[in-house]
Amino acid sequence: MEKFISWLERTMLPVANKIAKQRHLMAIRDTFMTILPPIFFGGIIAVINSAPAVEGTTNGFMIAWANFASDNAIILSWLNTVTLGFLSFYVCIGITYYLCKHYEITPFMPIVIAIAGFMMLTAEPVELSFGNVLGQLTYFDGKGMLVAIFVSIATVEAYRFLTEHHVGEIKMPDSVPPALITSFGSLATCIIILAVDSLLFIICYKTQGVGFAHTIINVLSPAIEATDNIGTAILVAILLNLGWFFGIHDAIWNGFLSPIEYGTLSMNAAAKAAGTALPSVFTVSFWCYFGIIGGLGNCLALGILCLLSKRKDIKTVGKLGIVPAFFGISEPITFGLPIMLNPILFVPCILTSVVNVTVSYLLMQSNIIGRTYAMLSYNMPSIFGSYFSTGDFKAVILIIVLILVDMLIYYPFFKAHEKATEDMAEE
């Protein structure tokens, strides 16, 4: 086991460090961290708008909730649309901003260009008339995520290249206001980038009758659908917990995972608002509330075992770590027990998440448990988050069962760790 751990340290850590420092992935990661507030707000609105059925109930609160949601359905749907439903739009702005920040480029003009390009390539014209433009904004949610990432990165890289090489730069006298100098200085750059965006739109609209985003979705839909499967969920569970075991924070994977997890959540939220079947199982709320109960390593179950330990030092870790673990914060137990680089706890650290995502995925896929459509907070306890993200009381029962299963998985390894700690203390 020590040789295996040493080999993983030599192979994983350098790769993890390179991934963590890759500028485009860093921009994507920082974007999703920054736009959490509107996502959470949209999640709250989605929960309010998804009142449970009240047929046959006399519960005054449930009836009032259902009536409020029904009376304000249009308002609530719109509030959800312009927050969680505009996810790709905000992602486009965020990636553009953070990538400009990395290159030390003033971000305003690239953001404007990126927004214009994103609008061209995602919105589909429905009606055009004097003073009135109507367009289809279907692809502003998670379905337009790939376009948002492409447009933002391509815009910044093209803007940087063209400005550094002074392509079409217009020199203005010093007496001209700075804002006008910036405007004319980037005029040619803006025209070139938007001309390319326009060309992509025209080609797709003339040949396919739909926008660029629609075309991309049609072409890549098999690959996109392939990410929402039980294999992907299990792979994520293994990789993230394996990294955490070596002290590698899961944030390094956000550049890859966030577009997938938030994209599927956004599409589920849109389907919920439209009253149609939720298409995806693997979302960010699925992972947070069902895959890692108590944080990475499923530390809530381990924290309970620590509280039951006869050793004072381990029990102390449980007392200090149980409340944070309840709110999805695993660090006190991960570093206090520790789990990190502890060969005895290596297997259960990974196995618990594999079991959790497998059971949860299969139950949601078979529609026994409702699928997730809202994300309230990373730190909302799974016992509550599971209900509010699905609107299904059965999800709460599932969480309780999974905690008990996690405890059973951890138990023999925990007792072995307890014995090893005693032996070390005697030496």
Residue 168: which region, alpha, beta or left (left: phi > 0; alpha: psi -120 to 50)?
A: left
Residues 6 or more apart whose CB falls under 8 angstroms from that of 253 comprise 19, 236, 239, 240, 243
- Same domain, yes or no: 265 and 366: yes
pLDDT of residue 145: 84
Residue where one domain finishes, among candidates 221, 243, 277: 221
Higher per-residue pLDDT: 371 or 343: 371
pLDDT of residue 16: 60
- Same domain, yes or no: 126 and 181: yes
Q: Which of 36, 32, 26, 43 is nearest to 100 (CA)?
A: 26
pLDDT of residue 358: 95
pTM, rounded to two decimals? 0.73
pLDDT of residue 417: 85
The 10s digit of each residue's pLDDT in 92-101 is 999 999 999 9
Indicate whether 285 belongs to any domain.
yes
Indicate whether 5 belongs to any domain.
no
- Same domain, yes or no: 86 and 153: yes
Indicate whether 50 belongs to any domain.
yes
Residue where one domain finishes, among candidates 221, 237, 268: 221
Question: Does position 252 have pLDDT exceeding 90, yes or no?
Answer: no
Query: How far is residue 335's CA from residue 349's CA, in Å, rounded to a whole number?
Result: 13
Question: Does position 427 have pLDDT exceeding 60, yes or no?
Answer: no
- Same domain, yes or no: 209 and 327: no
- The whole-chain average pLDDT of the chain stands at 83
Indicate whether 287 belongs to any domain.
yes
The 10s digit of each residue's pLDDT in 283-340 is 989 999 999 999 888 999 999 999 998 888 889 988 988 998 998 888 788 878 888 7
Query: How far is residue 355's CA from residue 292's CA, in Å, rounded to a whole number?
Result: 10
Indicate whether 134 belongs to any domain.
yes
The 10s digit of each residue's pLDDT in 223-248 is 666 677 888 889 888 888 887 777 66
First to last CA, the chain: 22
The band of 407, judged by pLDDT with boundaries at 50, 70 and 90, is: very high
Indicate whether 11 belongs to any domain.
no
Question: Does position 130 have pLDDT exceeding 60, yes or no?
Answer: no
In this predicted structure, which of 12-16, 30-34, 186-190 has the lowest mean pLDDT? 12-16
- Same domain, yes or no: 170 and 309: no
In this predicted structure, which of 34-38, 351-355, 409-413 has the lowest mean pLDDT? 34-38
Q: Which two tokens stand for residue 208?
A: 């396919």
The band of 423, judged by pLDDT with boundaries at 50, 70 and 90, is: low
pLDDT of residue 216: 80
pLDDT of residue 4: 57
Query: How far is residue 149's CA from residue 119's CA, in Å, rounded to a whole number?
Result: 13
The band of 8, judged by pLDDT with boundaries at 50, 70 and 90, is: low
Query: How far is residue 400's CA from residue 320's CA, in Å, rounded to a whole number?
Result: 22
Number of domains in the chain: 2
The 10s digit of each residue's pLDDT in 209-229 is 788 888 887 776 666 666 778
Residues 6 or more apart whose CB falls under 8 angstroms from that of 140 comprise 85, 86, 87, 88, 89, 122, 123
Number of H-type helices and E-type strands within the chain: 20, 2
Percentage of the chain exceeding pLDDT 90: 32
Determine contact, residues 405/310, Cβ cutoff 8 Å. no
- Same domain, yes or no: 101 and 210: yes
- Same domain, yes or no: 292 and 174: no
- Same domain, yes or no: 119 and 266: no
Indicate whether 20 belongs to any domain.
no
- Same domain, yes or no: 103 and 72: yes
Q: Which two tokens stand for residue 321?
A: 């770590």
Q: Provide the domain limits for residue 304.
A: 228-426
Structure-token match 């059973």, residue found? 408
Q: Which of 95, 98, 90 is nearest to 42 (CA)?
A: 90
- Same domain, yes or no: 118 and 214: yes
Indicate whether 342 belongs to any domain.
yes
Residue where one domain finishes, among candidates 160, 192, 221: 221
- Same domain, yes or no: 133 and 189: yes
- Same domain, yes or no: 201 and 267: no
